[in-house]
Amino acid sequence: MVTMPFYVAGNPTTTADVLDVHSPYDGSVVGSYSVPGAEDIESAIAAAVAVQPTTRTLSAATRATALDHVSATIAQRSDEVAALISAESGKPMMWARAEVSRAVSTFRWAAEEARRFSGEVQRLDTDPAAVGRMAVVRRFAAGPVLGISPFNFPLNLVAHKVAPAIAVGAPIVLKPAPKTPLSALLLGEILSETDLPPGSWSILPAADADAPGMVSDPRLPIISFTGSERVGYAIQSAVPHKRVILELGGNAAAVVMADYASERDLDWAASRIATFGNYQAGQSCISVQRVYVHSSLAAEFTEILTAKVAGLATGDPRDPETVVGPMINVEAAERVDGWVQEAVTEGAEILTGGTREGTQVAPTLLTNVSDESKCYTEEVFGPVMTLRTFDSVDEAFELVNDSRFGLQAGIFTNDIHVAYRAQATLDVGGVIIGDVPSYRADQMPYGGVKNSGVGREGLRHAMDDYTDVRVMVLTGLEL
């Protein structure tokens, strides 16, 4: 088995420190990688600082061509990349292939945005004192970026750090999750085939113990972090003078309104909720966790949803029929199982699931869950959903908002008035009408409010977060 190198200033690098990556499903070794040391981290940061004047003025053609190459190469190697994602994360192949497709789109969108990242011209002669003046408003990279990505989307969430940085000419030092570094290192191999200048990117699967030093380094003024609420806010507190972009957790709600009552509608809602409460083994910050159904539909919908959840195929992630694979490790599975059993002792009823075998937690649907239950108030980050009823639109929206998280919500309704009201009323970053909160298009603004984070992903929006506005005023023009 070949040990994968890490990348310092775009150059493949190895050390004597080698770690294996194990399959969450059966514990087998699926790959190994070299671990960077302190000298490698220093070299990467120093190179990012040194190259910044070059990348800031790099032509749009150079940036876009590099991004197009990455997109096209991932597409050409899609089977290989999907197999690696599945192997290291335990993600079923159907979801690994979907992640590959999304990464292809993410880099393609970044290339398109790089080509049109031009700024704007603003007339200033709207007042008599400014006759003959015109402002040219452009954005420039604010400095090198430290990107820290999680284990659950080991390629596409890496792409959402790297692609916008390249698009705006910001050097980036990426620290992928130690549990799933291999997909990011494969991306490094592809990036090394481009003509981006050395130092414009580094991929360092460093130990978590090295993260605080990277976070506090004053040469990395922008930090883009995706992960847990606890770690995200620790970063923000440690470096309040830095620009910290946080994509944190959630306990996303799906609401089935009274008007969504046809047999077809209920089947669609139940299918989508069942699947996307349990895809990625629930290890997605926008997987469905809280389900609210109008009381007039409760009996029928509960029966349909329970059957859909119970019917999800679980097991070996290499099996193309598997929908729900293992959790990332035994510790995570034990935690989720413990929360479920605790909910039961507090009075919850298990409609289906509620069991664990190793890293595999059965898709679980709970009802009669208390307001204080962890399965209801916290981010479970596992294949567990809670089900409650409501009697009015007002009550439904109050239930959705009764959370310290605010990432996305899904509203199943055919009423356009309810849809617009949801967008205006719900304290979330995104409202998905007619589908689950788990829907995301990679070019759209994505992020949350409250304890779900600050800033936005989605190429053009992340590009804004990585840049500062500069205004140039031209004087004495004939307008």
Contact present, 364 and 378 (Cβ < 8 Å): no
SS3 content of the chain, % helix, strand, coil (to 5): 40, 20, 35
SS3 185: helix
**Whose structure tokens read 């108030």?**
377
Judge whether 263 counts as a catalytic residue.
no
How many H-runs (helices) and E-runs (strands) does the chain carry? 15, 25
Judge whether 375 counts as a catalytic residue.
no
Q: Are strands 172-175 and 201-203 parallel, antiparallel or unpaired?
A: parallel
383-407: b (≥16 Cβ within 10 Å) or e: bbbbbbbbeebeebbebbeebebbb
Phi-psi label, residue 46: left if phi above 0, alpha if psi -120 to 50, beta otherwise: alpha
- Count other Cβ atoms within 10 Å, centred on residue 311: 12
**Nearest in space to 181 (alpha carbons), one of 211, 137, 151:** 151
Q: Which of 247, 375, 379, 457 is catalytic?
A: 247
Per-position DSSP letters for 41-77, written without gaps between them? HHHHHHHHHHHHHHHHT--HHHHHHHHHHHHHHHHHT
Q: Which of 285, 375, 379, 457 is catalytic?
A: 285
Q: How far apart are alpha carbons 405 and 407 in whole angstroms?
A: 6
**Nearest in space to 92 (alpha carbons), one of 288, 363, 305, 409:** 363
Per-position DSSP letters for 373-389, written without gaps between them? -HHHHS---SSEEEEEE
**Nearest in space to 455 (alpha carbons), one of 474, 421, 419, 429:** 429
Q: How far apart are alpha carbons 260 and 291 in whole angstroms?
A: 14
Helix axes 156-168, 93-115, angle to 10 degrees: 10
- Count other Cβ atoms within 10 Å, centred on residue 123: 11
Phi-psi label, residue 280: left if phi above 0, alpha if psi -120 to 50, beta otherwise: left
61 exposure class (CB count in 10 Å sphere: 0-12, 13-18, 19+)? exposed
Annotated active-site positions, please?
Answer: 247, 285
